[in-house]
């Protein structure tokens, strides 16, 4: 697929948005930065035992949260891929380590010679208008039999949320940082109340509220709100779309997990005897 000029510009703006976001919100701490959360995201499709000692790339490393999780989980080496101005934040947060190679490139520039066991992309693919070039690059960079795991916003389970959030995002993605940060603080109060209610009452997305947002500190919770309202582009994938996005890039044995009833964790494999792509 060839990007149109408009889609290309949208992708560039989204990269700029995240560069600003991760430059302003640099702290990774608590449950938000824990191996426990990484396990919650990738399992049951990719047990952490399967990536310990492996060579892994992460597409869209942002402020380095997932990279640090991977190191703590025992990964042998991480290629940290980040195209935005947050690259400096990534390097500062992760620090100097022989176990990390930092690349200030987009996902579709991942070198085919990377010789990877696993590629991860957590919360990134749904912000790319045309993700196929990045996923094809991941395919080529993996060893035969290598695995990819992506985490995506889901459409199923988010119908009520999207009915409320999408009209709001039409406004918030155009706001300057100071205005959006103020709105986020205002929205955080009713969210905090809903989290408390979710412990004993029926509310939308109770699993998400109890087992994710409810475990975050106030600063990380506000970052999650900001992260939902700031990006120029976000696509919520159906189950069919989530499977197809990996299959189109050549991956086989694609499996899906409907995480907390609102998102998709998707795993695929590069065939053992790959003849390459035309």
Determine the structural domain holding residue 225 and report its residue range.
159-229
Mean pLDDT lowest for which of 54-68, 83-97, 260-274? 260-274
Residue 277 maps to a domain: no
User: Predicted confidence band at 4 (pLDDT cuts at 50, 70, 90)?
Assistant: low
Percent of the chain scoring above 70 in pLDDT = 96
User: Predicted confidence band at 187 (pLDDT cuts at 50, 70, 90)?
Assistant: very high
Residue 203, pLDDT > 80, answer no
**Residues 239, 109 share a domain:** yes
- Summary mean pLDDT of the chain: 92
Higher pLDDT: 7 or 14? It is 14
User: Predicted confidence band at 9 (pLDDT cuts at 50, 70, 90)?
Assistant: confident
Residue 209 maps to a domain: yes
**Residues 192, 83 share a domain:** no
**Residues 69, 83 share a domain:** yes
Residue 17, pLDDT > 50, answer yes
**Residues 207, 132 share a domain:** no
**Residues 149, 198 share a domain:** no
Residue holding tokens 């990390």? 100
Higher pLDDT: 97 or 119? It is 119
In this prediction, residue 202 carries a pLDDT of 74
**Residues 65, 9 share a domain:** yes
Nearest to 15 by CA among 3, 27, 7: 7
DSSP 6-46: HHHHHHHHHHHHHHHHHHH-----GGGGSHHHHHHHHTTTS
Are 85 and 146 spatial neighbours (Cβ–Cβ below 8 Å)?
no
Are 1 and 131 spatial neighbours (Cβ–Cβ below 8 Å)?
no
The total number of structural domains in the chain stands at 2
User: Predicted confidence band at 2 (pLDDT cuts at 50, 70, 90)?
Assistant: very low
Residue 274 maps to a domain: no
What letter does residue 252 receive in the DSSP assignment? E
Residue 278 maps to a domain: no
Q: What is the mean pLDDT of residues 39-57?
A: 96
Residue 276 maps to a domain: no
In this prediction, residue 5 carries a pLDDT of 62
Residue 275 maps to a domain: no
**pLDDT per residue as tens digits for the range 124-181:** 999 999 999 999 999 999 999 999 999 999 999 999 889 988 999 999 999 999 999 9
What are the backbone angles phi and psi of residue 151, rounded to the nearest 5°?
Answer: -120, 130
**pLDDT per residue as tens digits for the range 210-263:** 888 889 999 999 999 999 999 989 999 999 999 999 999 999 999 999 998 889
Q: Which two tokens stand for residue 258?
A: 């409907």
**Residues 120, 251 share a domain:** yes
**Residues 142, 24 share a domain:** yes
Residue 278, pLDDT > 50, answer no
Residue 271, pLDDT > 90, answer yes
In this prediction, residue 201 carries a pLDDT of 72
In this prediction, residue 207 carries a pLDDT of 79
**Residues 49, 24 share a domain:** yes
């Amino acid at each position: 697929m060839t990007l149109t000029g408009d889609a290309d510009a949208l992708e560039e703006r989204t990269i700029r948005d995240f560069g600003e976001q991760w430059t302003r919100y640099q702290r990774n701490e608590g449950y938000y930065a824990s191996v426990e959360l990484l396990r919650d995201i990738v399992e049951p499709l990719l047990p952490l035992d399967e990536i310990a000692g492996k060579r892994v790339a992460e597409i869209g490393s942002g402020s380095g949260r997932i990279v640090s999780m991977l190191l703590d989980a025992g990964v042998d080496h991480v290629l940290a891929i980040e195209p935005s101005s947050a690259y400096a934040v990534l390097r500062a947060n992760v620090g100097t380590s022989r176990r990390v190679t930092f690349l200030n490139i987009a996902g579709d520039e991942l070198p085919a010679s990377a010789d990877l066991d696993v590629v991860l992309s957590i919360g990134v693919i749904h912000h790319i208008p045309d993700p196929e070039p990045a996923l094809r690059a991941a395919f080529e960079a993996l060893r035969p039999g290598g695995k990819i795991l992506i985490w995506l916003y889901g459409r199923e389970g988010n119908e009520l949320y999207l009915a409320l959030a999408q009209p709001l995002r039409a406004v918030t993605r155009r706001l300057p940082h100071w205005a959006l940060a103020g709105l986020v603080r205002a929205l955080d109060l009713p969210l905090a109340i809903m989290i408390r209610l979710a412990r004993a009452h029926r509310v939308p997305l109770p699993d998400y509220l109890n087992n994710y947002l409810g475990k975050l500190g106030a600063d990380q919770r506000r970052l999650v709100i900001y992260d939902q309202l700031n990006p120029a582009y976000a696509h919520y994938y159906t189950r069919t779309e989530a499977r197809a996005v990996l299959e189109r890039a050549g991956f086989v044995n694609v499996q899906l997990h409907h995480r907390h009833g609102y998102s998709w964790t998707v795993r695929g494999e590069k065939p053992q005897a790959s003849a390459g792509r035309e």
